Structure 1
Amino acid sequence: MHTRRHTWLYLLALPAMALSTTLAANPGQGAGPGAGAGPDVDKGRGGPPILNLPPAGLIGEIRQQYYDGSSDDLLTAGLGQSGLAGGAPAFADPANPTAAELRRLAIYNNYRALVPVAPGGGYGEFFGPAVGSSTPDGRISGHEWLTLMSSGEQNRHTVMVQVPDSFDSRRPCMVTAPSSGSRGVYGAIGTGGEWGLKRGCAVVYTDKGTGMGVHNLDNGTVTGIDGTLVEAGSDDAVFTAPISATDLDTFTADDPNRIAFKHAHSRANPESEWGQNVLDSIRFGFYVVNELYGQQDAQGRRIPTIRPGNTLVIASGVSNGGGAAVLALEQDTERLIDGLAASEPNVNPTVRRDFTIRQGAGPVISEHSRSLLDYQTALAVYQGCANAAPSVSDALFNLVTPGREAIAANACARLESLGLVTGEDTAERAESALLALIETFGLQPEQALIQPVTWWANVSTGIAVTYANAYGRFGVEDKLCGVTFAASDAGGGVIPLPEVAERAIFSTGNGIPPTGGVNLIDGNAAQGVPTEISQALSPTTGNPDYSLDAFLCLRALVDSDNEYAARVADGIDEIRASGDLQRRPAIFVTPRADQILPINHTSRPYVGLNRLVEGKQTGLRYYEVLNAQHLDILNNLPGLDAQYIPLHHYYFQALDKLYDHLRGGRPLAPSQVVRTEPRGPGAPPLTLANLPAISSSPGEGDVILFENNQLRIPE
């Protein structure tokens, strides 16, 4: 691993020879989409050339590595397509994993978290490293540069640039790959990373200031940029909790063995800077490609001949990464970005009540655009009870853990006592809870059958805790609503995080507990000691009920009027999207059964908002995919593989269509519903019959329209 100190690069450059680069070096400049969309940044004509300097905000060192594609590579860390589908790579010494081993396992886990790899599900045929690759195992050689950037003490985020050897400096392209969820910097390796690298594009990554920054408050160790553990406060630290020494001593004495996570506890509301983080990664990307391929002057210094004006730049991302890409395009005042392709983007549109949404002949929806914290706290409160509804009794993996039926009944009884649901028994109360999620909170009926397995994975509870802390800029010592993060034993009691788990967490964690051996701990449990939430007894009733008291507290931060709720509201205001994509070409691909980012609060209202802001000249297209849900990884599970197709396939199709539009001028297909066909009983292998293409001329019954201030979605 080579490193480059760059403080000296901020010094003013001395006069040098005149710039000799001409349009002949980049024949496509100014000749069409992606070749003249950005400003001419060569301000040195008639004077000294502008030298290639890194963007402002870099921290510490730039780490450089070249991978030759044999034992290691950019896309698969040497595992190849078959290795990614196989067993997890092991550490030679689990108590002391190397940076290379951590990187390999991080790529393995992050790839598989986004891409279904089970046989018959499309891996190796419709997508995967070797599909469309020149190598049989899909390994890609090239350069990887890694560093930290910051716009403030706690706003540091990891950025990385991968430049494949197939990169063509005469026809350059660049793709963004901000991490989905709160994952580390390799979080988009299997999504924007795979697509861009196989196209020969430089891929620019960022963890968006949320990913895998973990601080063990007792021993003072934190995650370093390469995944190894470093001391808190180190220049290489991804995150150090902002807590004074006095407060830290008090906190660890009262609440030992706790873990702080960057997304939740940085006091920075990282989402408010997601767009700028993506733009930072693009700026770093231009620096890197020019260091590798820019023209040299007589003194051997690099001149930035690869510029926004002659480079095709696609902003892309999945889920949170998609939302970050959307915000980046909205905030792109430098015209760095030519177009956008986002899959199931986490966008919180600015609330406008002058348009509505309607699916088929269903009800008109005017109460759209709820914030993520609004609907996730609703899920955290209601879904534990709703799982007991007879109408979802056939939902796979519902109430599979022993004792869950009784806990669901307790949750339903508690909600009924508060007047939040109605019914004489658990079944009626559970149906009432499910109805509240659909009718009051605007969730799709299609998500009801996939939501129980997501609940089983503690998704909504983890999101509710993390985002409430982030939006209100609360610190770990605030113990918001009594919930903290720690490892726990079989009885739910807090224990120290095992060293081998802590040393591996960069590679095994996703940034939002429960993850990597760290769980959600209810500090107000009736046991009298902090207890993991699924085993905690209610301080109100003495019964286990999924820690409803804690989540009712978090829910109150959305619909109450107090100091804490005001702080949260201010944080949510900071992350609202404007709907202004500057009329650049853009594509959203979203599953109708999205159980994590309900489409009546994310993609659909964003499309409506965009039409109000940009009118008929908008460049945004919206493709809503049936029989797909948010987490393609769940398609690996028996039963779910028969019901859902991989949305990942349509994300790649959207990128293909956008690329062809920007490079070749092909029109983008109209907004439409894509009617896929599930695999059915026994889940036979996917074929093209299951995955109809996004149509360039969809039928009248499939076209999505915005008319009379209403977004109209076919049934």
Structure 2
Amino acid sequence: MTIRPDRIVLAALALATLSLASCSTSAPRTKTEASPMFSAMRQTEHRGSDDLLSAGLGLTGLRAMTPPAFADGEHPTPSELRRRALWSNWRGIADLAPGGGYGELYGSTASVPGREYSAFATVPGASQPHRVLVQVPDGFDTGKRCLVVTASSGSRGIYGAIAVAGAWGLPKGCAVAYTDKGAGTDYFDLDSGQGVRADGTLGARGEGLAFEKLTSASSGVAFKHAHSGDNPEADWGRHVKQAAQFALQSLDSAFPQSAPFTFDNTRVIAVGISNGGGAVLRAAELDGDWLDAVVAGEPNIYSEGEGSRPLYDFTTEAALLMPCALLHMQNLPQPPLTAQAAPLWTQRCAALKSTGLIEGGDTAAQAKSAYDALKAHGWTDEALRAGALSVGFDLWRAVAVTYASSYGRYGFGAMPCGNRFTALGADFSPRDTTATERAAWWSDASGIPPGAGVNILEEHPTSPLTTLQCLRGLWTGDDANAQRVRKGIAETRAALPRKGLPVVVIHGSDDGLVPPAFTSAPYVKQAQAAGRDVRYWQVRNAQHFDAFLGLPDYGSRYLPLLPYVYAALDRVSATLDGTSALPADAVIATTPRAGKPLEAANLAMPR
């Protein structure tokens, strides 16, 4: 990998060219607006054994059970960090296990040579930047300008949608633009005073860090999603648009002889899954016709539609009740191993009964009471069954702690319910992070602790129900903290997509983390009733996490969602070419593979 400082100069010139072009007398597709300012711009080249899509790892390297090693664990190079970040994000999103069909039946890990352009961008009113990155393949066709713009799933770093947008767009010669949408893995360690620079390496305060939060606290770990003070979810759509604007600027730099690249002469398709799916739907509502089409997979979207519930509402409800409710259900997927989990879930039932949240004279009655409460609030059996995974991995609590801090715009030392983030020792007491842990954060972390050596430290560690009730109360209560958090949640509510914009929404009917009953279904119903061009694929036997289909029981029960995202991209691309119509709404009757290799017949792809 080589860095070209001269390209930074070209990028600045390209920005000026783009600004002048927007004032031309031709009819642009979108109204003239100021281009955002970008900082810490870098350009790197990736060819041979270090390509754009997998950093030379290919499918075999991505399937490796251990990450690519650092030559010096405390001081990895930018190229080592990038390769490991790609490995981590591929494995966090896609089912790469043999028999799962990736790279054979669907998807690509082809070696794609090209260049990367990256920078920090800041939306108006925000105090902290978000990352933007553009991958420009050498096979980009300046005569058929194609740009795919995406946002990371979950709270992942800048490569958090590589398996979604990169895997589809790069082999087709499209440029792909990414944003971490104000979250990501730019952690800051208060003990050492170190954070993450533009190239992923560690630096001290004042050394151009991606996130450097001032706080009176002197110990622990801060990160953007929880501690930026910006409530980044409220700006997801603007994050996506800025990534697209940076892509046009980068294409001007990459192909100055073909400049300017504008929204008027470049096809732009937005795609994302999970939080990234919500982000591209938020981009769809922005003024101007800068987008040509949107594909949103399993989107976390909160709308005005009937039945819509915000993530924080159903997450805190699940965190409290689901461990107990699952005891009422049979045939749960493994893991978590029911025999090992049952004693803990039984304790939860008793604790919920003692606080008056459920009824019942014994565990069976208490479990049914918790189950009935969830069913009454719209949970389906399919979502509850798949939600066992989130219970087993403690995802509900992790999401609730981070999002409460984000929605309320709390600083590191002021998080609600007494939570903070730090490394923990073997006795679960706070400790300093190690140099090796800090060096790997940017590539290894998922953006929400616990993970990568960072954990949640609770005020009441011996009484988990106390913390969960406090977090739930931020939605159901009416004190100052609850009003503060609910105000932040209200800022994330989505509007309708732009009239005439083709949108395809895909969601697994068994999604247990972002249930479609609370997200996709109300959004689509509202949009279609308002005359918007939104199509909806409901995929039977698909849950939220393709990456967990490598677990035998999950692979036997569930189908991956990514094949349908790629197929929807194919369909909207063909529609924009004028060779096909948009797909119709469909309830896709899949067939679980029951332990056998995945075949096309299992997917029952719509025609």
Give the TM-score band, short-chain normalised.
over 0.9
Q: Return the alpha-carbon distance in structure 1 between the equivalents of residues 497 and 420 of structure 2.
A: 38
The alignment status of 1:642 with 2:556, answered yes or no, reads: yes
Match for 1:320 among 270, 275, 283?
Answer: 275
Consecutive unaligned residues in structure 2, runs of 5 or more: 28-32
Deviation, structure 1 residue 322: 0.9
The alignment status of 1:687 with 2:582, answered yes or no, reads: no
Q: Deviations over 1:201-228 (max 9, x none)?
A: 1100000010112111111111222211
Q: Return the alpha-carbon distance in structure 2 between the equivalents of residues 502 and 435 of structure 1.
A: 44
Contact 1:313 1:337 in 2 (8 A): yes
2:252 is aligned to 290
The alignment status of 1:427 with 2:364, answered yes or no, reads: yes
Q: Deviations over 1:42-78 (max 9, x none)?
A: 60679xxxxxx9932212x31101112x110100011
Q: Deviations over 1:625-668 (max 9, x none)?
A: 00000011110101111000111111111111111111124111
Q: Return the alpha-carbon distance in structure 2 between the equivalents of residues 286 and 323 of structure 1.
A: 23
Contact 1:172 1:201 in 2 (8 A): yes
The alignment status of 1:579 with 2:559, answered yes or no, reads: no
Which letter maps to 2:70?
F
Q: Return the alpha-carbon distance in structure 1 between the equivalents of residues 317 and 26 of structure 2.
A: 58
TM-score (norm 2): 0.94
The alignment status of 1:78 with 2:3, answered yes or no, reads: no
Q: Return the alpha-carbon distance in structure 2 between the equivalents of residues 398 and 446 of structure 1.
A: 16
1:55 is aligned to 35
2:462 is aligned to 537
Match for 1:140 among 108, 112, 119?
Answer: 112
Q: Return the alpha-carbon distance in structure 2 between the equivalents of residues 160 and 13 of structure 1.
A: 20
Contact 1:192 1:203 in 2 (8 A): yes
Match for 1:226 among 199, 202, 205?
Answer: 199
Q: Return the alpha-carbon distance in structure 2 between the equivalents of residues 271 and 559 of structure 1.
A: 21
Q: Return the alpha-carbon distance in structure 2 between the equivalents of residues 500 and 13 of structure 1.
A: 42
Q: Secondary structure at the match of 1:449?
A: helix
Contact 2:126 2:230 in 1 (8 A): no
Contact 2:445 2:451 in 1 (8 A): yes
Contact 2:44 2:115 in 1 (8 A): yes
Q: Return the alpha-carbon distance in structure 2 between the equivalents of residues 9 and 200 of structure 1.
A: 25
Deviation, structure 1 residue 290: 1.6
Q: Secondary structure at the match of 2:329?
A: helix
The alignment status of 1:111 with 2:85, answered yes or no, reads: no
Q: Return the alpha-carbon distance in structure 2 between the equivalents of residues 327 and 599 of structure 1.
A: 17
1:505 is aligned to 441
Kindly report which structure 2 residues correspond to 1:587-626, keeping only aligned pairs within 5 A, or say none: 587-612=504-529, 614-615=530-531, 618-626=532-540
Count of equivalent residues:
595
Q: Return the alpha-carbon distance in structure 2 between the equivalents of residues 392 and 420 of structure 1.
A: 23
Q: Return the alpha-carbon distance in structure 1 between the equivalents of residues 338 and 428 of structure 2.
A: 19
Kindly report which structure 2 residues correspond to 1:515-554, keeping only aligned pairs within 5 A, or say none: 515-524=451-460, 536-538=461-463, 547-554=464-471
Q: Return the alpha-carbon distance in structure 2 between the equivalents of residues 390 and 397 of structure 1.
A: 17
2:122 is aligned to 150
Q: Return the alpha-carbon distance in structure 2 between the equivalents of residues 8 and 585 of structure 1.
A: 32
1:384 is aligned to 323
Moved more, 225-234 or 509-518: 225-234
1:514 is aligned to 450
Q: In structure 2, do the counterparts of structure 1 residues 153 and 346 end up closer, same or farther at CA, with 3 Å as the change threshold?
A: closer
Q: In structure 2, do the counterparts of structure 1 residues 142 and 13 end up closer, same or farther at CA, with 3 Å as the change threshold?
A: closer
Q: Secondary structure at the match of 1:234?
A: coil
Q: Secondary structure at the match of 2:290?
A: coil
2:30 is aligned to none
Q: In structure 2, do the counterparts of structure 1 residues 42 and 692 end up closer, same or farther at CA, with 3 Å as the change threshold?
A: farther
The alignment status of 1:369 with 2:286, answered yes or no, reads: no
Contact 1:242 1:267 in 2 (8 A): no
2:239 is aligned to 277
Which letter maps to 2:606?
I
The alignment status of 1:102 with 2:16, answered yes or no, reads: no
Q: Return the alpha-carbon distance in structure 1 between the equivalents of residues 275 and 14 of structure 2.
A: 36
Deviation, structure 1 residue 233: 4.2
TM-score (norm 1): 0.80
Which letter maps to 2:323?
G
The alignment status of 1:167 with 2:140, answered yes or no, reads: yes
Contact 2:352 2:358 in 1 (8 A): yes
Which letter maps to 1:646?
P
Q: Return the alpha-carbon distance in structure 1 between the equivalents of residues 456 and 238 of structure 2.
A: 30
Which letter maps to 1:565?
A
Q: Secondary structure at the match of 1:689?
A: helix
Q: In structure 2, do the counterparts of structure 1 residues 13 and 188 end up closer, same or farther at CA, with 3 Å as the change threshold?
A: closer
Q: Return the alpha-carbon distance in structure 2 between the equivalents of residues 201 and 337 of structure 1.
A: 15
Q: Deviations over 1:520-558 (max 9, x none)?
A: 11123xxxxxxxxxxx312xxxxxxxx111111010010
2:170 is aligned to 197
Deviation, structure 1 residue 390: 4.0
Which letter maps to 2:271?
S
1:700 is aligned to none
Q: Return the alpha-carbon distance in structure 2 between the equivalents of residues 394 and 339 of structure 1.
A: 38
Contact 1:581 1:610 in 2 (8 A): no
1:2 is aligned to 4
1:336 is aligned to 290
Match for 2:99 among 96, 120, 123?
Answer: 120
Match for 1:653 among 548, 552, 567?
Answer: 567
Deviation, structure 1 residue 307: 2.3
Aligned-residue sequence identity (percent) comes to: 38
Which letter maps to 1:472?
G
1:416 is aligned to 353
Which letter maps to 1:57?
M
Q: Return the alpha-carbon distance in structure 2 between the equivalents of residues 153 and 607 of structure 1.
A: 30
Q: In structure 2, do the counterparts of structure 1 residues 520 and 399 end up closer, same or farther at CA, with 3 Å as the change threshold?
A: farther
Q: Secondary structure at the match of 1:578?
A: coil
Deviation, structure 1 residue 5: 4.7
Which letter maps to 1:435?
D
Q: Return the alpha-carbon distance in structure 1 between the equivalents of residues 324 and 512 of structure 2.
A: 16
- Structure 1 vs Structure 2 CA RMSD: 2.3
Contact 1:437 1:443 in 2 (8 A): yes
Deviation, structure 1 residue 310: 2.2
Q: Return the alpha-carbon distance in structure 2 between the equivalents of residues 609 and 267 of structure 1.
A: 31
Structure with greater proportional helix content: 2
Contact 1:154 1:242 in 2 (8 A): no
Q: Secondary structure at the match of 2:74?
A: coil
Consecutive unaligned residues in structure 1, runs of 5 or more: 20-39, 47-52, 131-137, 297-302, 354-367, 525-535, 539-546, 696-715
Q: In structure 2, do the counterparts of structure 1 residues 229 and 329 end up closer, same or farther at CA, with 3 Å as the change threshold?
A: same
Which letter maps to 1:674?
I
Q: Return the alpha-carbon distance in structure 1 between the equivalents of residues 51 and 58 of structure 2.
A: 9
The alignment status of 1:474 with 2:410, answered yes or no, reads: yes
1:397 is aligned to 335
Q: Return the alpha-carbon distance in structure 2 between the equivalents of residues 11 and 660 of structure 1.
A: 31
Q: Secondary structure at the match of 1:161?
A: strand
Contact 2:187 2:224 in 1 (8 A): yes
Q: Secondary structure at the match of 2:84?
A: helix
Contact 1:589 1:651 in 2 (8 A): yes
Which letter maps to 1:317?
G
Deviation, structure 1 residue 7: 11
Q: Return the alpha-carbon distance in structure 2 between the equivalents of residues 100 and 57 of structure 1.
A: 26
Which letter maps to 1:349?
S
Which letter maps to 1:643?
R
Q: Return the alpha-carbon distance in structure 2 between the equivalents of residues 13 and 180 of structure 1.
A: 32
Q: Return the alpha-carbon distance in structure 1 between the equivalents of residues 557 and 11 of structure 2.
A: 57
